[in-house]
Chain A
Amino acid sequence: MKKKGRQITDISVMIAGIAGDGVLFTGNILAKILKRQGWWVSTYKDFPSNIRGEPTNYTIRTSLNRIQSRSDEIDVFLAFDCGAIIDHADRMAGKGLLLCDGVGLSRYTPAQKKNRTYHTFPLRKLARDNFKSEIYKNMIALGALAYILDLDFQVIEKLISEAFLKKKGKEVVERNIRAIRLGCQQAEKIVQPEELHPLAERKDAGRLLLSGNEAVALGALAGGCRFFAAYPICPATEIWQWLAKYFPDYNGLVVQTEDELAALNMALGASYAGARAMTSTSGPGGSLMMEAFGLAGMTEIPVVVVHVQRVGPSTGIPTKTEQSDLNQWVFGSHGDFPRIVLSPGTIEECFDFTVRAFNLAEKYQCPVVLLTEQEFGQNLFTVKRFDLDKVEIDRGKLLSQEELDRMKDYRRYEFTTDGISPRALPGMKNGLHMVESNEHDIRGYRDEDPENRSRMMRKRMKKLLSAAKDSIPPKVWGEREAKTGIIGFGSTFGPIQEALAQLKEKGIGAKYLQMRTLWPFPAKKVGEFISSCDAVYIVENNYSGQLSRLIQSQLRIPARIQIKNILNYSSLAFRPREISTEIQRTL
């Protein structure tokens, strides 16, 4: 039975309640159903950093087109309590539908409701009356959404079975399915046909539904990482949890350390001994790693640091998003040393750049930072399947025992034309050398001679010249001839792409430069892009415009070109319209 309704191509469903209500669980199942029905999915978590008791909401957006942004509006709003309405009803679409468990809807006047439909939906009561437990309110809610969105029951039943059969048994599966059917029947009684948002049928396209953190973990596995050390921190922990599950099957090791100082030092030890090693962290953890970050630069040991940015400074807001740690990783730690900072903007890039981070680290024998964000780190997105054929492993100038045997006098920090010296591992014959955190000579022994110091400094820094050519170039999107430019890095990718389309609808041509390597700074490409514009908007989730400052410190920008910052430091990701409206307003 296909319900009649409007032609839907893009829809957002918000589920809101109090932390502990099961908002996340319900939303994740809905996301997976939509993925299995062949729709693109993009989710947005807005969670407090505690386990129970504070308002929380989860938006599942689905579209026939590829999306990677929170939506401008909410079409269907399912609230476990009335409190959520006060916070979010303003964002509801013109013909939005609200189902709310609880009394109090009557106080909303038609003027407040505009054209939206508000229905009371007694989730808890239905759960208590039929299942003697409020926990079933989540599945009843899912049933109601299944009715409104006209979801495929076969898909739903299969998923519920996958979620509960092994862990909880057949009876629980059946009870949950009954709850979903009950929700569906109850919704049919309350929701009018014209209020429905039925989704067209599609087939599962075999895409993956996963978070950026999970994509990083997969990239690490595929990229040959076999040692991971970390300290628990939001919002980076999923990387670790995933690796902890799968690494042992691939002779990999995950170690929980006492702090982030130990995590990066331990990863460096493992890498020095030959394993591809990584750590992941966020916020304050990154600050603690600054010391060992410099050690990696000084001793020329490859290592990958994944830094999932959250709201700072200090403890900040651990479960919300920001892009304010660019300065830290591009400029941080004492002294000058080479580092590479990569900025993936999509889930595919999280996978791909992680693989490449290990290659860059080993080729240039320096630390590589993968700078991601809570926004796409912890939210789920549909992506095309990752292709293992494209994964290449390049260990750079790592010596084999045979090569080392042929060398007469091995010197770990030999001066070379590209600054990169052949690397022997401890345990190898004929490769004895010293690794010094102090300034050192070509054999690694402490050397404070000013001439040696100057040469060593140039040797290390020179590696960035080749790394700059080998790193991941910026990518230009949109209308190449346009005179209005947008520059961003990381998670602003999704909203900027949609903002481009919104501007186009208004007749404004614009283009977008996606920064994918922050350091070494891709001066030529960024310079060319800016020169081809009359106005450039730099879009960032931070207060001070860290990318904007970086660009303006690295390039001499002609006075005819206007540089404007669009900044959001609210702890929430950009919505596309925040960007397009600001550009329209100020252009």
Chain B
Amino acid sequence: MKREKDFHLSEPTWCPGCGIYGIFAALKMAAVKIDLDPEEMVVVTGIGCHGRLNNHFRAYGFHALHGRTLPLASGIKLSNPRLSVLSISGDGDAYSIGVGHFVHALRKNIDITYLVVDNRIYALTQGQTSPTSPLGYVSVSAPFGTKELPLDGAKLALASGGTFIARGFSAQPKKLAALIEKGIKHKGFSFIEVLSPCVTHNKIITAQWLKEHISHLDEDHSYDPRSKKQAWEKLIKEEKIPVGLIYVDERATYGELVLPEKDQPLVGNDLGIDEQRFERVLEEFQ
């Protein structure tokens, strides 16, 4: 049985009050709950404050290029399906520079868990407007207010064939841990957006503001996350931000469909090829 300290490498140094502390805690709780082995876990992070997670969470870590966590994580998972692969991005990473990869990872349904840490700004580069900043949001990059509509990752995920769509809140790490646990166990691409306030650069979308503007799906007993219709209805109502498991579906994963041997790594095979078989391959060119 693993304990949280097995996944704890060092004390983090985010700004005091940063939402990522809650995500770090939730990640450890979920890993313990599933009894994962740090040596069979790979955490791929993007560029942004969340990228420091690798410095503190004990597992195989990969701090990737800005926006490119998903193709990298997909390559890892397909190459060795035995690994538990987590990809973590910020809202800039996931919804701006890497949004193309997001849509296609959803279509492919590769069996990885994708956490998008959404603070609604670019924090590491000092607070510019991000794709989730609200309309009119004033920032150093948009001193007269943002003119673009914010992007809703959950709607995009539902439209793109997502099989696990959830939203958590960093200030509620236990609930978030339960979502991460479900996500990791889910066969297929699990997308979890985490509302995570930036205490330094975002004075509008604060923890308090979020608390007032979210609604918990698990408190609505009529809500069935297996219903795509209910999920759409929930997402297009603009009253409050739904938090919890938004949608779940079962569909064959990309790996199940394409890997010659579903659970076998491509790694570790004898790389030599049989001479007689090779000769047969050459017949085509005779």
Contact = CB atoms under 8 A, between A and B. Distances in A.
A279 to B, nearest CB: 10
Nearest to A217: B281
Interface string B247-269: 00000000000111100111111
Interface stretch (B18-26, B79-87, B212-220, B235-243): B79-87
B269 A226 contact: yes
Contact of B266 (A265, A270, A436, A446): A270
B58 interface: yes
Contact of A208 (B59, B271, B282): B282
A162 to B, nearest CB: 10
Nearest to A265: B71
Interface stretch (B61-69, B127-135, B145-153, B164-172): B61-69
Given A273-B265, A425-B267, A295 B65 contact: yes
Contacts of A227: 75, 78-79, 266
A566 B52 CA distance: 53
B97 to A, nearest CB: 10
B75 A432 contact: no
A277 B265 CA distance: 13
Given A269-B71, A446-B55, A274 B267 contact: yes
A426 B281 contact: no
Interface in A388-408: 388, 391, 393
Interface string A269-309: 11111111100000000000001100100010000000000
Interface in A413-459: 425-438, 444-446
Count chain A CB atoms within 10 A of each CB in B55, B261, B264 and give the residue with the most: B55
A434 B58 CA distance: 9
B75 A248 contact: no
B268 A274 contact: yes
A435 B62 contact: yes
B54 to A, nearest CB: 6
A226 B285 CA distance: 22
Contacts of A299: 62
A261 B71 contact: yes
Contacts of B277: 249
B72 A388 contact: no
B285 A253 contact: no
Nearest to B62: A435
A273 B80 contact: yes
A14 interface: no
A386 B282 CA distance: 9
Interface residues of A, number: 66
Contacts of A252: 260, 266
Residue of B47, B80, B103 with most partner-chain A CB within 10 A: B80
Of B70, B103, B267, chain A has the most CB atoms within 10 Å of the CB of: B267
Contact of A253 (B47, B71, B76, B258): B258
A246 B261 CA distance: 15
A29 interface: no
A218 interface: yes
B39 A427 contact: yes
Contact of A269 (B47, B58, B75): B75
B33 interface: no
Given A222-B273, A269-B73, A275 B79 contact: yes
A518 B198 CA distance: 48
Given A253-B260, A257-B71, A386-B282, A434 B101 contact: no
Contacts of B144: none
Given A251-B260, A261-B71, A274-B265, A388 B278 contact: yes
A255 interface: yes
A575 B70 CA distance: 46
B76 A292 contact: no
B38 interface: yes
Interface string B114-134: 000000000000000000000
Nearest to B46: A437
Interface residues of B, number: 54
Contact of A432 (B60, B63, B265): B60
Contacts of A214: 285
Contacts of B35: none
Interface string A45-66: 0000000000000000000000
Main secondary structure of the interface of A (DSSP, over half): mixed
Contacts of B82: 427
A265 B78 CA distance: 13
Contacts of A251: 260-261, 264, 266, 269
A392 to B, nearest CB: 10
B39 A428 contact: yes
Given A253-B260, A273-B79, A446 B71 contact: no
A274 B72 contact: no
B260 A261 contact: no
B64 A437 contact: yes
A435 B42 CA distance: 10
A515 B235 CA distance: 60
Given A250-B273, A274-B267, A268 B72 contact: yes
A273 B64 contact: no
B286 interface: yes
A258 interface: yes
Given A221-B281, A248-B260, A427-B80, A435 B61 contact: yes
Contacts of A425: 80, 267
Contacts of A386: 282
A388 B280 CA distance: 13
B273 A266 contact: no
A209 B83 CA distance: 42
B76 A273 contact: yes
A386 to B, nearest CB: 7
B65 A292 contact: yes
Contact of A258 (B54, B59, B104, B258): B104
B75 A273 contact: yes
B275 A388 contact: yes
A146 interface: no
B79 A274 contact: yes
A263 B80 CA distance: 17
Interface in A177-202: none
A385 interface: yes
B143 interface: no
5 tightest A-B contacts by CB? Answer: A269-B75, A224-B271, A274-B267, A262-B71, A270-B79
Given A209-B285, A249-B277, 20 more contacts: A210-B285, A221-B273, A222-B278, A229-B71, A255-B258, A257-B104, A261-B101, A265-B68, A265-B71, A269-B72, A272-B62, A291-B65, A291-B68, A299-B62, A426-B83, A434-B54, A434-B60, A435-B63, A437-B63, A446-B55
12 contacts: A214-B285, A222-B273, A222-B278, A249-B277, A251-B264, A255-B74, A269-B79, A270-B78, A273-B83, A273-B265, A425-B80, A432-B58
